[in-house]
Structure formats: structure tokens, C-alpha cells
């Protein structure tokens, strides 16, 4: 599988390393890599000649982390632009409108505010969340599809262990009952600090801690989707600023966000973490405030290492002067 180098990453044969790291080694794809875990519980692969994020056997359940990784069967994200409709986005993405709506808990007629982050499945079907007692045969039977199709699109083996909360793509599946209206990303449609809607966002002062607690320098104020940039060196630990559940964790370009995580908080807000060099959580995982979830990087559309941090549905405490993150 082709691995492409992005900003801040160099391609040395089969080994991806930061550009600042000397590189002369070529790691054979047949080498048996030893998997190690660093002090924050984020997995890396020691291939002998270099330390790289572990990107082997990446699937919806893996939670395995790494540098930019591209595959035709990978879920991605799309950031809604002015004039977009579900029909235009679905056509551009090569999927049905229903697939787009199901993946984002939407129904026909829902509005798409500019800046909304949508999950894009690689094929027509549904994103299924594993519940207690599920097996591949039960899931296949429920949706009338083949087990082999589920295995192929999720890149897993027939004896793969399924965990509650894990998400699998079920290709060709359909949802007959209507889903409750819900906008995929709770951003209220605000685009930047000049958007008056931000004044009506829920005040979450004192709720979020700094996601990069070792660094407190903001390199860019409110922009994009109620987001800020927090400057920190590549590899700096990123922590969960509040308790929540991981709704998206994916390697790749992801609409320019690079390696990206989305977490839904119990207070109804959603937080986004972009340009990561490593991801240490998986979809469905519950995280507590202060838990390590990834590492700062410069993947996607980025000019240097930093964390892009967005708050959807609430004021971003990093967008105030001074910043108003809660104390740990």
C-alpha cells in the first residue's frame, strides 16, 4: 500500500520518519516489527533501524497510530463549503445520498451549515457500532450482506475480535427506519471570530483544560470552524480536555485536517484535534479529562507543528484573551 509523505515527514523507503531525523536505513516490508508502547500508552513500532508509528493492519478497531496513511477503503471527512448540498457532496464522494445521511445521523431536509464536518464512508452502506453479543455472522445476516464483504472493506480477518463500541463499515447495508434529525458536527455554523453566531454559543469556561498542557502558546486565534492553533513541537502529548467518547479517529488528509480525532462531550459539545503525528484512541473509546489521545504533528494542510483545536457547540476557551482553559 502506498504511503505518501506530507509536511514534516520524509519517505525513506518503507520507513517514515520526521524530516529532522537522519535517515539512511531501509526497512524491509518482510521484517517482523516489535510493537512497543510509550509512557503515554501510544503504540509505536520499533523496526530496528528507526522508530515509526505502527501502521500495520489499520482498521476501524485498531486504534493504531501513525503518519499519513492513504487507502481506498478508508473513512474520511469533508468540511462543508458554501453552496454544498447532501446531493452534491454524495456525488463528489461517489456514494449515495442515503449513505451520507446515515453516516452522519441526518435525515433529508436537514440544513448543512458551512464548516460542518461530515464523515464520508468509502462505499455505500452503513457505519455499524458493535454492541454486546455481536458477531460478524449476526451483523451480516441483519443487513443481508456477505461476511467476506465486511472483512474486505474493514481490512480485518474472520477471527478478528470485536469490541463494544467498535465501528465497522457494512457495505451495501441499508437503514429502513428514519434517523433522528441531528447535525453531524455541533458547530452552530460559525466560521470565525467575525461570525456573530459565536456570541450565542454555550459558555464552557472552566470545562476544558488545555489539550497541550505542557505548552500554552497560541500561534493563531479563532479561525476556520471555531478553532485555534496551539504551537508545540512534533511529538508533544495531546490530552483529552474533558471527559467524552471518541466519535472519529482517522489517519490521512481528512479534508486538510491531517490525522484527526473527534470527541463528543457529555455537555453536548464536540471537540476536534487536527494535524496530529500520532493517534492513540479508537472510535467508541471513553476518555477521561487528561488522558493522552495523540501527539502534535504537522499532517494535512499545515505549515509547521501545532495542534489545531476546535470546539463545536460551545465557545473555544483558547479563543479568548487571555485563554480561559480550566486548571488541571
* CATH number of residue 269's parent domain: 2.70.70.10
**Does residue 45 lie within any of the structural domains?**
no
**Does residue 126 lie within any of the structural domains?**
yes
Which burial class, exposed, middle or buried, applies to 25 when counting CB atoms under 10 A from its CB (0-12, 13-18, 19+)? middle
Q: Are residues 270 and 312 in the same domain?
A: yes
Q: Are residues 128 and 222 in the same domain?
A: no
Tell me the mean pLDDT in the region 137-154.
92
**Does residue 152 lie within any of the structural domains?**
yes
Residues 6+ apart with CB under 8 A from 272: 117, 185, 225, 227, 257, 260, 261, 262, 308, 309, 310, 312
Q: Are residues 214 and 306 in the same domain?
A: yes
Q: Are residues 120 and 204 in the same domain?
A: no
Q: Are residues 153 and 221 in the same domain?
A: no
Q: Are residues 158 and 226 in the same domain?
A: no
Residues 6+ apart with CB under 8 A from 324: 205, 206, 317
pLDDT at 114 over 60: yes
Nearest C-alpha neighbor of 204 from the set 265, 290, 245, 292: 265
Domain boundary residue among 171, 205, 222?
A: 171
pLDDT by residue (tens digit) across 203-245?
Answer: 677 899 999 998 888 999 888 788 999 999 999 999 999 999 9
**Does residue 103 lie within any of the structural domains?**
yes
pLDDT by residue (tens digit) across 277-323?
Answer: 999 998 889 999 999 999 999 998 898 999 999 998 889 999 988 89
pLDDT at 216: 84
**Does residue 315 lie within any of the structural domains?**
yes
pLDDT at 201: 56
**Does residue 8 lie within any of the structural domains?**
no
More confident residue, 65 or 275: 275
pLDDT at 151: 93
More confident residue, 241 or 164: 241
Q: Which residues form the domain of 124? A: 76-171
**Does residue 30 lie within any of the structural domains?**
no
pLDDT at 69 over 60: no
Domain boundary residue among 114, 136, 171?
A: 171
Domain boundary residue among 171, 186, 218?
A: 171
Question: From CA 288, how far away is CA 244, in angstroms rounded?
Answer: 7
pLDDT at 34 over 70: no
pLDDT band for 38, please (50, 70, 90 cuts): low
pLDDT at 192 over 90: no
pLDDT at 49 over 50: no
Q: Are residues 136 and 226 in the same domain?
A: no
Q: Are residues 313 and 203 in the same domain?
A: yes
pLDDT band for 22, please (50, 70, 90 cuts): very low
Q: Are residues 114 and 202 in the same domain?
A: no
Tell me the mean pLDDT in the region 57-63.
30
CATH code at position 159: 3.10.350.10
SS3 sequence, the chain? CCCCCCCCEEEECCEEEECCCCCCCCCCCCCCCEEEECCCCCEEEECCCCEEECCCCCCCCCCCCCCCCCCCCCCEEEECCCCCCHHHHHHHHCCCHHHHHHHCCCCCCCCCCCCCEEEECCCCEEEEECCCCCCHHHHHHHHCCCHHHHHHHHCCCCCCCCCCCCEEEEECCCCCCCCCCCCCCCCCCCCCCCCHHHHHCECCCCCCECCCCCCCCEEEEEECCCEEEEECCCCCEEECCCCEEEEEEECCCHHHCCEEEEEEECCCCEEEEEEECEECCCCCCEECCCCEEEECECCCCCCCCEEEEEEECECCHHHCCCCCCECC
pLDDT at 321: 86
pLDDT at 40: 59
Q: Are residues 209 and 255 in the same domain?
A: yes
Mean pLDDT of the chain: 74
Q: Are residues 204 and 295 in the same domain?
A: yes
Tell me the mean pLDDT in the region 37-66.
37
pLDDT at 313: 86
Here the cell at position 51 is 522508530
Domain count for the chain: 2
At 230, phi and psi to the nearest 5?
Answer: -110, 115
Tell me the mean pLDDT in the region 185-207.
50
Q: Are residues 105 and 142 in the same domain?
A: yes
pLDDT at 250: 85
pLDDT at 254: 82
More confident residue, 71 or 281: 281
pLDDT band for 41, please (50, 70, 90 cuts): low
**Does residue 256 lie within any of the structural domains?**
yes
pLDDT at 268: 86
Amino acid at each position: 500500500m502506498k504511503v505518501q509523505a506530507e509536511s514534516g515527514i520524509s519517505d525513506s523507503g518503507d520507513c517514515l520518519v520526521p524530516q529532522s531525523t537522519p535517515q539512511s536505513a531501509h526497512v524491509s516490508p518482510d521484517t517482523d516489527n516489535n510493537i512497543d508502547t510509550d509512557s503515554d500508552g501510544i503504540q509505536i513500532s520499533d523496526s530496528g533501524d528507526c522508530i515509526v508509528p505502527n501502521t500495520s493492519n489499520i482498521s476501524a478497531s485498531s486504534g493504531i497510530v501513525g503518519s499519513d496513511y492513504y487507502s481506498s477503503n478508508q473513512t474520511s471527512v469533508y468540511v462543508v463549503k458554501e453552496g454544498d448540498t447532501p446531493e452534491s457532496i454524495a456525488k463528489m464522494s461517489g456514494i449515495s445520498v442515503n449513505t451520507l445521511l446515515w453516516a452522519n445521523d441526518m435525515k433529508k431536509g436537514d440544513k448543512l451549515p458551512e464548516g460542518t464536518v461530515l464523515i464520508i464512508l468509502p462505499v455505500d452502506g452503513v457505519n455499524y457500532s458493535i454492541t454486546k453479543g455481536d458477531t460478524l455472522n449476526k451483523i451480516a445476516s441483519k443487513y443481508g450482506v456477505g461476511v467476506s464483504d465486511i472483512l474486505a472493506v474493514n481490512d480485518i480477518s474472520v477471527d478478528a475480535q470485536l469490541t463494544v463500541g467498535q465501528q465497522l463499515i457494512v457495505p451495501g447495508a441499508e437503514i429502513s427506519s428514519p434517523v433522528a434529525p441531528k447535525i453531524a458536527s455541533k458547530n452552530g455554523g460559525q466560521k470565525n471570530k467575525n461570525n456573530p453566531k459565536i456570541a450565542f454559543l454555550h459558555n464552557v469556561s472552566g470545562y476544558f483544560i488545555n489539550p497541550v498542557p505542557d505548552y500554552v502558546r497560541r500561534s493563531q486565534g479563532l479561525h476556520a470552524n471555531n478553532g485555534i492553533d496551539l504551537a508545540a513541537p512534533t511529538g508533544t502529548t495531546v490530552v483529552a480536555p474533558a471527559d467524552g467518547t471518541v466519535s472519529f479517529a482517522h489517519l490521512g488528509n481528512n479534508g486538510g485536517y491531517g490525522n484527526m480525532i473527534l470527541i463528543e462531550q457529555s455537555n453536548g459539545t464536540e471537540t476536534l484535534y487536527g494535524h496530529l503525528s500520532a493517534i492513540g484512541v479508537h472510535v467508541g473509546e471513553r476518555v477521561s479529562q487528561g488522558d493522552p489521545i495523540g501527539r502534535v504533528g504537522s499532517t494535512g494542510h499545515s505549515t509547521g507543528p501545532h495542534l489545531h483545536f476546535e470546539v463545536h457547540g460551545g465557545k473555544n476557551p483558547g479563543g479568548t484573551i487571555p485563554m480561559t482553559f480550566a486548571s488541571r
